[in-house]
Amino acid sequence: IESLVSVVFYRGLTMQVAVERDAAGRSNYSMCAVNPSRISKTFNEEALQFVVNNIAEETGWLLEIVNYNIANMQYVCAGDLRALDTLAGVTNFLKMQQIDIEQMRSNIEEAKDALRKIIRGCAEATLKKPLPLELERGFAT
């Protein structure tokens, strides 16, 4: 057990120093939990992956699902703070506007166009926020 604890400890240290930080120890990267079931009954893992992939592609910011904890209820996304903030904005928008992403996906190109318009609006709102960026809870994040 001691060996395992040491490996985990040194892994954590390595990860901690691998990311550039400011004088206060903050980085431009983080993680957040996402619960797709809080967006809508039809919003699932596949829909979340579609949204995450499109945010990363549209903005060029790092964003990935890194933990698949409970199917359709708990995932962890990691990446650039701007991408995570945009993810919160997009999921909030989808919930508030009651947009059914699964229904939209029946026409994939139409869905991508509509989603990218939402992403651009949320990304623009993110870029207007003061720095350092602080993530806030959303409906699903």
Strand order, beta sheet including 29-34: 29-34, 74-80, 63-70
32: phi then psi, degrees, rounded to nearest 5: -150, 150
- Which top CATH class is 28-127? alpha beta
Cα(42)–Cα(24) distance, integer angstroms: 41
70: phi then psi, degrees, rounded to nearest 5: -130, 120
Radius of gyration of the chain (CA): 17
Please state the rounded mean pLDDT for residues 10-26.
83
Q: What is the pLDDT of residue 82?
A: 98
Strand 74-80 vs strand 29-34: parallel, antiparallel, or unpaired? antiparallel
Go through the chain and tell me how many residues it has.
Answer: 141
pLDDT per residue as tens digits for the range 73-116: 999 999 999 999 999 999 999 999 998 887 777 788 888 999 99
pLDDT per residue as tens digits for the range 35-44: 999 999 999 9
Give the start-to-end residue ranges of the domains of the chain: 28-127
